[in-house]
Every structure is written in C-alpha cells, then in structure tokens.
Structure 1
C-alpha cells in the first residue's frame, strides 16, 4: 500500500507558534545560567501580560471604530500568545469582525476575517479557515489597497486549501499571490507562493517533477533575502522530492544542509522535522529500518514536547510502517492504533483511511477476519469521502482524463473483437470435431451450427450497436450537462456583480431628499429602491426571466438614476405593455449594464441642453426588437477617454459572452448591434443598441437536455 504524501510538511516554518522559541539543553551550562533564563522568561511573560492589559483598556475605551478594530487585532494576538484559550479567542475574533463591519472599511473587515481564519488554521480546522481567507481576498482583490494585503490573504487561502487537500483551490490562490509578488518584485512573497505551489504539486500524482522548479525558485529568493528559515524550508522540500524520486543520497545531502541550519538556529521544530525526514528516507530505502525507527522516535519526542498532535499521528504511522516491514505485527498494530486515535480527534480523513487499511491488513494476517473487515470498511468510507482523484488542478486534467477514457473504450472494443474471434475459432474446432465423429449427422449438425452462429453473431452485432449508441448518448448527455452547468455558473457569476456604489449612492440620494424635507418624493424613491432590490434578489434564483420583468427592473433602475442626477437627463420606455412580449424570456440583468453605460459614458459627459434616453420594445411577428437609444457623446469620445486612462472596459465583452452562453444553452437566439449615430458632418450624436430576439420556445430548459 503506497503511503501518500502529507500536505502539511514545510509550511509550519511560516505558521508554527513555537518555531522562533528554541532553547535546547546544553549540559555544560551551569545551573545558575538556567535559573537566569527562567527569571528572564518570567519577566518577558509579565511584560506581555502588562501589554495585554494595556491593549484591552485601549480597545474598550476607544470611540473611533477603525482604531477600535486595530486595537482589537493587536489585543487578540497578544491574548493568543499569553492565554491561548481557544473558545475565548474565537469569541473575541468574532466581536472584532462585527466592529469592523461597522466601519465600512473593506480592508479592515478583510483583515479581521483573515485573522479568524488563522486562528482556525492554528487549531487545524482547515475547512473552516479556508472560506474566511477566500472571502478576505475577494473583498480586496479589486480594491486600491497595498498589494501586500492581497498577497497575504491569497497565500493564507492557499495554505488552508492545501492542508484541507483541496489542491486545485490551493494552486489557484498561490498563483494569484505569485503574480502579484512578481509585479511588486516582492522576494518574500515570491518565495512563499513558489514553495506553496511546489508543496501542492508534490501531492498530485504525475505533477511532482513540476514541483522541483518551484522549490528551486523559492530557494533562490530566500538566499537572496538572506532568510535562513526560508532556505531551511526549501531544503526540506527538495530533500522530500528526492526521497520520492528514490535518490536517497541526494535527499540526505539536502537534509544535512537543513540539519546544520536548524542547529545553528536552535530551532526545535525544525530539528524535529529534519529527524522525521531522515527517518522517512531510510524507511523508503528499506535497507536500515532500525536507523529509520531511531530518527522517527527522536522526532516523535520532540513533537510531543511541542504539542503538535498532527505530526505525532503521522510519525506514529511511520513507526508502524517500520515494524510492519520488519514483520513485527503486534508493535506495528499498536503504532497504527495510536495514530488512528489522534487522527480521529483531529478529524484527519487521510490518516484515518491509511491507518484503517493498515490495521485491516494486520488483522487479516492474524486470522481475525471480522475485525479486519470492520477496519477495511472504515478505510473505504474515508477514502470515498476524500475523493482526491476527482480534484483537478486545471482544465488540462479534464482533457487528459477524457483522452484516457477514449483509449480505455478502444481497448474494450478490441477485447470484445478478440473474444468474438476466439468464439469463432472455438466453433470451427467443434464443427471439425463433429465432422470426424458424426459423419452421418454432418449435414444436420452443420445446419444447426450455422443457425446458432448466425443468431449469436446477430445478437452480438445488435448488442454492440446498442452499447455504442448508449455510450454515445451518455457521453453527449454528460457533455451537455457539463456545458449547461458551466454556462449557468458563468451567467450566475456575472449576474451577481451588483455595483455597491450604485446602492450606496441611491441611499444617499434618498437620504438627501429626507434631509431636504422632500418626504413624499423620498418615500416614492424609497419604494422604487426596495422593489428594485427585491427584484434583483429574486432573479438570482433564475436562469432566465420574462422580458416584462426585465423592463420593469430597468425602469426602476432608470428612476433611481434619474433621482440621483435630477435634471441631467430624461428617459422614456415604450412598448412595455405590448401583449406580444408576455412569454418572451431573456437572461436577467442583460439590459441594465448597457443602460448604465449610456447614462455614465454617454449622457452625463454630454453638454447638450436636453439629454434623453429611449428604451423601446418593438414586436416583429414572432420576434422582438429592443432598442436602447441616447443622444450622448457617443463611443468615440468614450474610447478616447478610456485609452487616456489606460483602462480597458470588459463590460461589452461580458455581455457578448453571456449572450453566446444563452444561445448555446437555450432554444432561442439573441443578436445585438451597436450603432454610432452621426450628423451630416460626421460628428457623434449618440449611440443606439439594437437587440433582436428570435425564439422558437421560451422554456427555461436548455436545448441539449431536451434533446
């Protein structure tokens, strides 16, 4: 049984709470010096407690919300160093998150979420830490904040995903951090992200060789920074890589370098990791298992002192492997059982699965079939829950899997043909035998053989055709479902991008009306705003909506924008009551981005005295035409300003992609055209956008599924 790589080997150098507190025993030092060290540590502890009290006072008395959050984060870190009460830390962290929400500061809110994620990760609750780190990154991804915050949040998301064995997510966020770090020429985060990618790829079958280049890149960055801790981390990663390649001498050369660094740093955790991997190298080599056991025992003692239960569970399993290879089943089973107990406490599915399988193997060898079966079932249950093989780092993995399945199908067909040929040969041999034995019955026997052969051949051919048709239909169905889900997912993502500035500005406009004693007008627009918000939330559950609802939603939006800009423009909606549009369905929020573009980039920059926007629906038989017309500055001026700002708008591209996805997924068809209006002298007079809806059926069910 192949021992899989563990996802939490080297990043402890970054996150372990005790990696910087090392005090190895040195017998030559006098007892007086040891007493001095203890007194010094107590004085430091007293200072930390005093700082904690000071921060707590500042947090409770601070009136400014933002400063209160900053004091709270500092207080929480100090509390974690001193008190380390898990539930109290969580409660305090959630209170700080609530304080950050009151500030309306996205970065501050993101920092508090990331901080709670770090607490969860410290306590190895990776599945709870991951969504917090991801949300923190998403909050600031497109904000104008210091890039270091984005790198921190992305790297933390990568670490949590890697520990949770969600390798595709881990690579995605490490890559985001690496891209930003390269743009900023930030060596520290280049090293962190590169090492994280290497560790993640090292856990994916067939991708280990790619990991080495990332380890080496991280090592170069750490050497350039002069960071011995980072250099040690990468020596460990590279050593582990060569262990997997079974180049044990090369692996131990890197481990020797690692040992020297950790001894110089007096790093107990680093020394424990180093001894563990010395043991792993000798275990994998299989030539000196006693030496492997010695290294594992030393590492286990160190991790017990450090209180790292996760590493203890892994090393106990390794010690079980050593004794198992030596055919010492009883001690091997004891080690596996101890490892399994810790893994259950920490909910480590991978270790639970591995230890269950190993105990099942031992019990089977000891003729305890019933107990072995229980452990085998337990291992299988956890193996199914992990589903590592179903995780894909990139779409190329899906393509490779599809190619493999095609090859397997071809092999199966060849095997069927081979079996058919064998059947034919057997029949021929039987016929010849019958001819020699039953000369008198040759004619009758041949007739029956031919009849049986023809019937069998026809059945086989029919079965092959049916199987081929079923296989083809299944593949087409799976492909249709995949494309449908992909299309719906992309449409949903685009749909949910609600501009928060629009919401805040609308509320501010309503607030202004209230403050200026225009209560009736404020009440009117507040009703419009509530209806608009409710309709947006309701459409989030739909893939298409009636055109009448889309027009009503757009009308609400225009009313709110008109309220904000007062006399800056006027609008008109025509044809919304036409009975021909009752059953017409379109993707939700399709018109609003174009309306918004016409107002902001067409009408508002215009110097005309009268600025108008027309939204008109024109039935044309079974088809529908939708026109968005404005008399603004036109696209030419807008594009000039866009180029001057060195910014490329993706709005029109997203709309095209949504229409393409709709046309692929539904029976109808949508075309649209953008027309630049000009006067007789060629000067821009605005923009006209024409949608043409050609629909055979207005069902929400995609075409592929109907077929």
Structure 2
C-alpha cells in the first residue's frame, strides 16, 4: 500500500467519524425536543390535576362541594383517557351525593359514571348505576334528565339484545319528551327507537320512527349532527331494503357529503359501507370492495370493523376467494364486541357455516349452524316479540288517552278563557269609551284654544295701525293722481285682506297661497315705508307649490319684525330675503335682513312680542295635533360675522299633505 493510499484511508475514517457524530448530535437534539414537548404536556396535565386535587382539599367539610370536586376530577380523568381513575373518583362523588340524598347530583353524576362504565365494557355496573340515576331523576321531576337517562338505558339493553327492556325504556323516554313538549334532541330519541325496531327486524316501525326524526331534523335543537347522519343512514338502509337502489345511494351520498364537511368519520364510514352493499347487489363487486377498503380509513369503533369484515367476506366469496373470506369472519369471532351486535353476529355465524360448507369442512359448518340457530331463537323469541308489541300498543293507547284528556282540559280552559275574555273585553270597552270621552273634551278645549289663536293671528295680521297706514299710503297715491300705483296697491291690499280672513279659519294652505300672502304683505309694507328696503323671495322653480300644504301665516310675524325693527333706523338700502327650500318632510323658510340686528348680549328670551307668543302657542298646538315638531332658530349675524349686520331666522314648517 502506497503512502497516498494510507492518507486516503485515514481521511475516509475521519469523515465517517465526523458524520456519525453529527448524526448522533442531530438524534440527540430531536430526542431532547420530543422529551421537552412531552415534559411540557405532562407539566400542563399535572398542573390541571393538582388544581383539581386542591379543589377537593379546600372543600373542607362542605360535602356538596367535595362531591362536585370529585365529579369534576373524574370528568377530567375520563377526557384524558384515565378511565379506571375516572371511575374511582366518580364513584366517590356518587356515594357522597347519595349520602346527601341530593337527587339532582345523583342523576347527573350517575349518568356520567354509567356512561364511563359502558365505555370500558363493564356492562352490568353501567345498567345498575343508570337505574339509580334514573330513580333520582324521577324524584327531581326533571323531564329532560329523566328522558335522557331512560334512552341511555334503552340503548344499553338494545346493545345487549334485551329488546323488551330496550323498548320499555325507549318508549318511556319518548312519552316524557312528547308530554313535556321538549323537542331538544328529540330526533336522537326517534332514531334510537327506530334502531331497536331495526334490530328486531320490524321494518314498518323502523321506517315510521325514522320518518318522524326526518321531519324534525331541521328544527332548532331537535337534532345534533350525529342524529342527522344517522337519519340519512337509516333512510338509505330502508330504501335499500325496498330495492330502491338509486334513492338509497342518494341518501348515502348526502350522508357522506355532510360528514366530510364537518369531519365526522363515523358518518363517512357508514356511507361508504352502505353504498358498497348496493353496488354488490348491482353486481359491481370490484366497486363494492373498493368502497369497503376506503371506509377502513375512517373506522372508530369495533362495530365498523366487524361489519366491514362480514361485508368484505361476502365480496371475496363472490370473487371465488373463500379462504380470504373465512379468514376475515374468523377474525370477528376473536372480538368480544361481536356478541353485542345481534345482526352482525348472525351474519358472522351464517357466513362461517356457508363458507366452511363450500370448503367441504362440514363438521365446522354444522357447528356454526347450531350456534346460528341458538341466536336466532333468542332474537325471534315469540315472548320477546309479543312483549315489544304489547308495550308499544300500551304506549300508543296511553298517548291517545292523554290526547283525549288534553282536549277535554283544553275545552275547559277555552271556556274559562272565553269568560275571562268577555270580562276583559267589557272592561276594555268601558275604558275605551272613557278615553274617547276625555279625548273629546280635550279636542274641544284644543279647538277652542285654536280658534282663540286664529282670532289673535287675525288681529296681528290686520291690526288697525297697519290697515290705516296702508289705506293712507293708497290715498296719498290717489291725491298725487298716480292712479296706476293706487290701483295696484289697493288690489294687493284687498287680496291680502281676503287671504287673511280665509286662511285664519283653515288648518293648512298651499305653499303657493302662503308665498302670495307674503309677497302682498311685503309689497304693501315696501310702499308704506316709501321704498326704504327691497325684498326678494327665492325658491326652486321645480318646487310643486300647488300641492304642498303647510300651516298658514307662521312666517308673517318674523317678516313684520324684520321690517319694523330691523329697518327702523335706516332711510334706504334695506334688503329682506326669503329663501324657501323643500326638505322632504318640511319646508324650510330662511328670513334674513341686513338691518341693525340685536344689541350686544341679546338672547332669544329677550324678544317676546305678542306675535312671537302666538307663534309659540301655534307651534305647540301643531306638535300636539300632528305629532310633528319643527325647527325654529334666530341668529344675530353680528355674533357670527363681526362685519355683518342683520338677523337670520330659520323655520322648518312641517308638510301636512298626509294629515
């Protein structure tokens, strides 16, 4: 070996040692990370345990608190998979509740403990505790709790093949729910009832109760997601029994879609398995086998494994693979849960008998045939069937009797309600008549007040000072031989007088009439003041003046004040502007002058002329009568703009078209 060869071997050795070290370090780091995460999880769980254990300790001598603390701890352990420890703590909680004779807690704790017993396969203690919980629930008269525990008992008995007891407790649960009109999870009860009849091969009753559940499934709180999945599954199975394969596949497809949307594996598995059965009947064996293999990805309980093994065995038989089929059904016999699923148990025994016969194992075939007959005799025992029928007949008879009793009670209540209604009606009629009488008096008083106000408005509009001044001005034009102006102003004065007299007696006038009155009044005042001011009335030309109705003569007092006080100390250059705007539910009038305005420190309260008092009273009456208010605002322009004089008044007068 040359010198270079030695060096090469040495370098390779170093490289290998370095790689191995790096790999070990990486593994060590990964291991540390996993240990750290696991340690963290353990710490969190331990801290929760410690908290719950401390809750038990600090309960002191309060027995109820101690019971509830053990109950909480038991539930925590159950959720975390520590079933034996959970049962131990739940038993302590139940024992304390029994010592306290607290039926409400006995029912709640007992129901949970019985369910936990069932999950670990301890069936008889589960039933015993359910019965204790049921009796306590009955004493509390909590119909919801009674029905829930009763149906749990029914499910247990159904699972164990004791169908007479199953139907007894199931019917009891239904009777309680229906009598109390408690529709919460009612679909669960109907589905459970249907399942019992399915197990005893009573197709008619199976379909009857599933259809009841189907009708209520979309009502609030009537069905959980699991209930809805079971309804679709049963509807598909019933359609399949009737040979309606297309309809059955549609139900199973609905079940699969619904279950996939919410990640409900049991629903997906059931949909695939049941669809496989249909494709088998349609002689599409490969498709059926493919669906069964796909369903295995969603298994969550022993029943699915047992049912799947039986279904696959049947398909393998059709494909001529009897040995594979035998292997699958023999697996079922090793599962203790097989004996609690009567239909699948029957199918397993039948397959074992038939497959062994095909494989010429006649001794084995006969042995399994005998086992099948024993099971069938138990399932189809005439006493059991008769007991079930008698129980259901009794239930239906009681239900009808309750309905008759209920109708009688309802009739009595109806008569009582009619009598009570007549008394109430008489009282209401007297009350209404009294209210109408009071309202009539108030309306007459309001009408009298309104008539007085109209007279006051008329007096302010047509006060002698204004009349004499207007007539004097017209006479002055006549003496100056200015017949045209004298005639014009006389015409306006006559129109204003006529309008004032007419409008003082009505509740509303058109906007056109209001503008005409304002224009005549300002023209006469302009003539009387010898043109010391100019005026303008501005409004949108599209405004429908002839169809909009408003209360009359609300603006005139403010126009009068603007002319009388605003232009008091000026000889010319006065400007009075009235802007009218449609604001949908009211008409906005803005009256603005460039006169002296108010003195410094002036407020609205300082200006209480007779005209203003009348305006306020009219405003109050309109608010009471029409239930409409309107904005009224006076602004001294100098307060907002130091270089500007005058006053701006904004009045929003309500439109009365619909009143």
Q: TM-score, normalised by structure 1?
A: 0.46
